[in-house]
Amino acid sequence: MEHAVVVKNLHKSYRDKKAVNGIDFVVNKGEILGFLGPNGAGKSTIMNILSTILSADEGEITILGVPLKKNAKSIKLRIGIVPQDLAIYEEISAEKNVRFFASLYHLKGQMLEDKVKAALELVGLYDKKDHKPKTFSGGMKRRLNIACGIAHQPQLIILDEPTVGIDPQSRNHILESIKILKQHGATVIYSTHYMEEVEAISDRILIINEGKIIAEGTKEELNRKVSDEITYTFSVKNTERLTVEAFHEIDGVTKVRLSADTIEVTSGKSEDNLNGIIGVITSSGCKIHNMSRTEASLETTFLELTGRNLRD
Ligand SMILES: Nc1ncnc2c1ncn2[C@@H]1O[C@H](COP(=O)(O)OP(=O)(O)OP(=O)(O)O)[C@@H](O)[C@H]1O
């Protein structure tokens, strides 16, 4: 797999505060990498270092095949940066904003106009191109911020919490836009503390906490790291004749909890034993009213790995 970004042993401190504490990761070409971590985890620091805005104290970074050290200027022209704080001009039209930022990348003439139009269309603001951002909602400003960062059609796009505090419609629009950028061949690094966003769009997820990467993988791989188990919960009547032992005779069952109207059976995920479990219940004369299944979610995985809730 070709790598768009390779980061080795990255460190960054602000005076005595260690914000990034020796991290290594790669970003595969063409993927959306979700950077998930709570406030203060170090996400912005890493995004700013990759964006060439901040310099690292220590570490080696290669972006699009070029070492970042000594090549920041040329790399900057090949990447798109969508900063956490809005970087738009409130008093000039949306179109002029995008044109200004795109022109910083040496675009001119018809090529510039085409890319400005494409960027405004991507974020759903082309019909508002003549309006000034001061008249926009928070979500529209965030969308314009993205258009400004990506209009030059960079190979690598770095977005730092691009959906903070916006309406669901704008959020969905932004997530869809990012998927389209990937379809057009871009590599995307996306930092957020919203679990559902990384779940919705990431090919791979890095979980960062206190300046360290504590887990990485696809959503499924991360969940498997914490638990390979599934719990079936049955709402029932007449549990008097049921015994815990009867369930433990079924292959894969690891835990059973019985109460007057509920049965919880935990089992290895890969076991094909649901029929056996239901058989034990019904053959004892129990009537099942309802059943649900619970697997480890990214939320529970995060809690397990960090001891912190993402929304704290
Ligand atoms: N300029 C700075 N001076 C001193 N400390 C800083 C500075 N910038 C960040 N920090 C500290 O470094 C740590 C990492 O901050 P960073 O902004 O990278 O985290 P984050 O994961 O992006 O959080 P957030 O979601 O709040 O932006 C935090 O403890 C933060 O307070």
What digits encode the pLDDT tens for the residues 140-156? Answer: 999 999 999 999 999 99
Q: How high is the pLDDT of residue 238?
A: 81
Query: Which residue, judged by its Cα, is nearest atom 1 of ligand 1?
Result: 14
Task: Out of 208, 224, 240, pick the residue that ends a domain.
Answer: 224
40 lines ligand 1 (CB under 6 A): yes
Q: How high is the pLDDT of residue 312?
A: 54
Structure ipTM over 0.90, yes or no: yes
Joined together, the tokens standing for residue 26 give: 């790669």
Examine the domain organization and report whether 173 and 248 are in the same domain: no
Q: How high is the pLDDT of residue 206?
A: 94
13 C-alpha vs ligand 1 centroid, how far in Å? 10
pTM of the shown model: 0.80
Strands ordered across the beta sheet of 17-28: 17-28, 3-14, 58-63, 66-67
Residues of the chain with pLDDT under 70: 226, 296, 308-312
Q: How high is the pLDDT of residue 77?
A: 92
Residue (of 60, 55, 36, 47) closest to 209 by Cα position: 36
Joined together, the tokens standing for residue 140 give: 């529209």
Specify burial of residue 14 (Cβ count, 10 A radius: 0-12, 13-18, 19+).
Answer: exposed
Task: Out of 190, 207, 224, pick the residue that ends a domain.
Answer: 224
192 lines ligand 1 (CB under 6 A): no
CA geometry: angle 92, 132, 91, nearest 5 deg? 40
Give per-residue pLDDT as tens, 37-76: 888 899 999 999 999 999 999 999 999 999 999 899 999 9
119 C-alpha vs ligand 1 centroid, how far in Å? 30
Specify burial of residue 271 (Cβ count, 10 A radius: 0-12, 13-18, 19+).
Answer: middle
23 lines ligand 1 (CB under 6 A): no
260: CATH: 3.30.70.100
Q: How high is the pLDDT of residue 308?
A: 67
| 12, 15, 39, 306: residue to mutate for ligand 1 pocket, most atoms within 8 A of CB | 39
Tally of structural domains, the chain: 2
Examine the domain organization and report whether 270 and 285 are in the same domain: yes
| 307 falls within a domain | no
Task: Give the ligand 1 atom nearest the CA of 191.
Answer: 22
Domain of residue 49: give its range: 3-224
Q: How high is the pLDDT of residue 299?
A: 73
Q: Find the distance separating the first CA and the last CA of the chain, reported in whole Å.
A: 36
- Give the Cα separation of 132 and 125 in Å (integer): 11
| 304 falls within a domain | no
What is the residue type of 189?
I
Examine the domain organization and report whether 198 and 67 are in the same domain: yes
Half-sphere exposure of 207 (CA within 13 A, CB side): 25
| 108 falls within a domain | yes
Q: How high is the pLDDT of residue 228?
A: 76
